[in-house]
Amino acid sequence: MTALPGAGEEAATPQLTREALVTAALRILERDGVNGLSMRRLAAELGVKAASLYWHVRNKEQLLDLLTDALMADAVPPPRRGSWRDQLREYGLRHRSHLLGRRDAAKVVAGRLAPGPHLLRLMEDQLDRLREAGFSDADAAQINYLLGAYVHGFVLQEITPLSAAEAAGTGRAEVARAAGDQLRGLPADRYPNLVDLADDLTTPTMDERFAFGLERLLDGLAVLLEQARAAAPEAADPEQEPTHE
Amino acid sequence: MTALPGAGEEAATPQLTREALVTAALRILERDGVNGLSMRRLAAELGVKAASLYWHVRNKEQLLDLLTDALMADAVPPPRRGSWRDQLREYGLRHRSHLLGRRDAAKVVAGRLAPGPHLLRLMEDQLDRLREAGFSDADAAQINYLLGAYVHGFVLQEITPLSAAEAAGTGRAEVARAAGDQLRGLPADRYPNLVDLADDLTTPTMDERFAFGLERLLDGLAVLLEQARAAAPEAADPEQEPTHE
DNA sequence: GACTCTCCCTAACGGTGTTAGGTGGCCCGG
DNA sequence: CCGGGCCACCTAACACCGTTAGGGAGAGTC
């Protein structure tokens, strides 16, 4: 019915392609979230039956791998200006807001190995900046993983209750207030600190929490860099040479 | 058939209880992983049909909430000896190995709000140590969340490909080597750093990666503490009083 | 003895990922 | 011009999943 060639439709390539699968999947993901993305719905979106998808894709897992790379396609690294610290902070902030920007992206990406070409380009770029900042090869590699893990982990952590709350129809301000009330209602003899710090524990927004952790991480990296510079002061910083001993 | 009281079986309390559900669920989780834990299998484990579970539990989500708290039941905080830094490090290490110790615990726990009493006790204890170390209330609250998010996020990140690899029947050493080979095989003109650092990127174990990140975090916290001490040197450290102005 | 409440049952609904096997149309060799 | 083969889709089915409606046995209470 839909497949018969009408006046002058696309008779040349009316077929599904792997790319068509992915872009349709992206559309469904944005519209219905990761729970709404089933093989049957994806097939329906393409005017096709579910079994047909398996001609183009081995299974759903592989589709999600492709989707992961597609989600990373339009992530842009920050401008190459400012200190290494500014650049890394911007990296983290952008990475997080990129993941938060497309619905359930973090859930799809979560822990998926086999990084696609787009993620590889970001890694390549970040490693370059880390080495240029003066980190050792081993440290640069570790830091590269660390920052990715921090961002992914944090976002994953914040996204799950977020979607649970919106499923229940409650705003995040209400959730925070409810959490505060719960903490304040605890027995003060068994949980004195939780009761005492109920406000401090519940008022920070996720943005602030993320920024706080990121800043601590950057402080730690600065310490590492200083230590490395102090231990081996020959590299690229020819100011003085304390060659005693 | 199974329910008829025989010679002298348990005629007193042959009923399911919520606790029985949870311990059976823990058993299934350990044996079959989170994907093997369905309401039907849980019911079968208890010699009962699936619909019966809904008498004791609202839905699967609530069961997972209960399971989350049960998974945290036997987590013990580190001894209260050594510097705040030693204690926090030990906290992180224990928390991670606790999650890794029971199968798929991280996947169940992931981002589940409504922390149970066991998790609350850990929070309470950690907050107490943070305040004692000299962190401000606001900082202590932030740090408490940060450390939890780091551990949870990291473990979640590492657990997913781990189970994927073991499903494929490959050891983690093979995975690392395969990743290294993939990186080395990249075009060196487009990905010079990835090719160059292929070894550094793939040799660290997850233990080392976690410890590295944790140490950077602790360094960052130390910086924060020093800054706070320098800005307001009146608190609990009565050595001298620079009361000029 | 009747009533109620607890607790488990059967049956079913509407979903899920995935596979086996069929089938129409197209291109290519003869 | 005709037949084989392959591509790309189809139908049908399997074995699951979470969840609900409604039934019914048994115990406890008035």
Same domain? For A58 and A31 the reply is: yes
Contact partners, residue A119, CB within 8 Å, separation at least 6: A68, A69, A72
Q: Report the residue of A64, A99, A201, A221 to disrupt the B interface, i.e. the one with the largest count of B CBs within 10 Å.
A: A201
CB contact at 8 A, A206 and A158: yes
Strand C proximal to B214 Cβ, under 7 A: no
- Across the range B166-176, mean pLDDT stands at 73
Q: At what angle do helices A172-184 and A137-168 cross, to 10 degrees?
A: 90
Q: Which residues of chain A are within 8 Å of residue B120 when distances are taken between CB atoms?
A: 186, 191, 194
Q: Residue B5: what pLDDT? A: 33
The amino acid occupying position B228 is: A
Q: What does chain A come to in residues?
A: 245
CB contact at 8 A, A39 and A50: yes
Burial (CB < 10 A; 0-12, 13-18, 19+), residue A67, is buried
Q: Residue B105: what pLDDT? A: 94
Same domain? For A134 and A211 the reply is: yes
B118-155 pLDDT per residue, tens: 999 999 999 999 999 999 999 999 999 999 999 998 99
* B218 contacts A221? CB cut-off 8 A: no
Nearest to B200 by CA among A163, A217, A130, A207: A130
Same domain? For B36 and B112 the reply is: no
Q: Which residue of B has its CA nearest to A109?
A: B157
Nearest to A34 by CA among A4, A64, A79: A64
Is A239 inside any structural domain? no
* A194 contacts B110? CB cut-off 8 A: no
A36-49 pLDDT per residue, tens: 999 999 999 999 99
Same domain? For A226 and A170 the reply is: yes
Q: How far apart are CA B166 and CA A124, in angstroms?
A: 28
The pLDDT of residue B85 is above 80: yes
Helical H segments across chain B, by residue range: 18-32, 39-45, 50-56, 60-71, 84-101, 105-109, 117-133, 137-167, 172-184, 192-196, 198-202, 206-231
Task: Find the CATH number of the domain harbouring A162.
Answer: 1.10.357.10
Q: Residue B13: what pLDDT? A: 47
Q: Residue B133: what pLDDT? A: 96
- Across the range A216-220, mean pLDDT stands at 98
Same domain? For B56 and B100 the reply is: no
Q: Which nucleotide is nearest to B61 (CA to C1')?
A: D18
Query: CB pairs below 8 Å between A and B: how many?
Result: 174
Q: Residue B235: what pLDDT? A: 53
Q: Residue B11: what pLDDT? A: 32
- Across the range B29-42, mean pLDDT stands at 96
Burial (CB < 10 A; 0-12, 13-18, 19+), residue A113, is middle
Same domain? For A95 and A48 the reply is: no
A169-203 pLDDT per residue, tens: 677 778 788 888 888 999 999 999 999 999 999 99
Q: How far apart are CA A190 and CA B16, in angstroms?
A: 31
Q: Which residues of chain B are within 8 Å of residue A219 when distances are taken between CB atoms?
A: 219-220, 223-224
A153 → closest Cβ in B152, B192, B221: B152
Q: Residue A224: what pLDDT? A: 97
Q: Residue A120: what pLDDT? A: 94
Same domain? For A136 and A29 the reply is: no
Q: What is the CA radius of gyration of chain B?
A: 24
Is B135 inside any structural domain? yes
- Across the range B14-32, mean pLDDT stands at 92
Same domain? For A93 and A194 the reply is: yes
Q: Residue B174: what pLDDT? A: 81
In terms of residue numbers, what domain contains A122? 84-231
The pLDDT of residue B239 is above 60: no
Burial A142-157 (b: 16+ CB within 10 A, else e): bbbbbbbbbbbbbbbb
The pLDDT of residue B223 is above 60: yes
Q: Which residues of chain B are within 8 Å of residue A127 when distances are taken between CB atoms?
A: 193-194, 197
Is A8 inside any structural domain? no
Tokens of A62: 């592989």
Q: Which residue is nearest to nucleotide D17 (CA to C1')?
A: B38
Nucleotides of strand C under 7 angstroms from a protein beta carbon: 6-12, 15-21, 26
Choice among A27-31, A86-90, B233-237 with the minimum mean pLDDT: B233-237
Q: Residue A113: what pLDDT? A: 67
Same domain? For B157 and B65 the reply is: no
Question: In degrees rounded to 5, what are phi and psi of residue B175?
Answer: -60, -45
Q: Which residues of chain B are within 8 Å of residue A208 when distances are taken between CB atoms?
A: 142
Protein CA at A40 to nucleotide C1' at D7, angstroms:
22
- Across the range A53-80, mean pLDDT stands at 95
Is A242 inside any structural domain? no
* B113 contacts A194? CB cut-off 8 A: no
Same domain? For B116 and B173 the reply is: yes
Q: Residue B3: what pLDDT? A: 36
Same domain? For A63 and A140 the reply is: no
Distance of CA A123 to the CA centre of its chain: 13
Nucleotides of strand D under 7 angstroms from a protein beta carbon: 7-13, 16-22, 27
Tokens of B196: 């160059």
Averaged pLDDT score across all residues of chain B? 87
A101-137 pLDDT per residue, tens: 999 999 998 767 667 899 999 999 999 999 999 999 9
Q: Nearest CA to CA, how far is B154 from chain A (Å)?
A: 6
DSSP label at A237?
Answer: -
The pLDDT of residue A154 is above 80: yes
Q: Which nucleotide is nearest to B46 (CA to C1')?
A: C8
Question: pLDDT class for B100, splitting at 50, 70, 90?
Answer: very high
Same domain? For B60 and B181 the reply is: no
The amino acid occupying position A128 is: D
- Across the range B235-244, mean pLDDT stands at 51
Is A237 inside any structural domain? no
Q: Which nucleotide is nearest to A54 (CA to C1')?
A: C18
CB contact at 8 A, A214 and A150: yes
The pLDDT of residue B167 is above 70: no
Q: Which residue of B has its CA nearest to A223?
A: B219
**Domain-terminating residue out of B71, B95, B111:** B71
Q: How far apart are CA A12 and CA A17, in angstroms?
A: 13
Q: Which residue is nearest to nucleotide C20 (CA to C1')?
A: A51
Task: Find the CATH number of the domain harbouring A50.
Answer: 1.10.10.60
Structural domains in chain A (count): 2
The pLDDT of residue B243 is above 60: no
Percentage of residues in chain A with pLDDT exceeding 70?
84
Q: How far apart are CA B176 and CA B162, in angstroms?
A: 11
CB contact at 8 A, B183 and B198: yes
A220 → closest Cβ in B153, B190, B217: B217
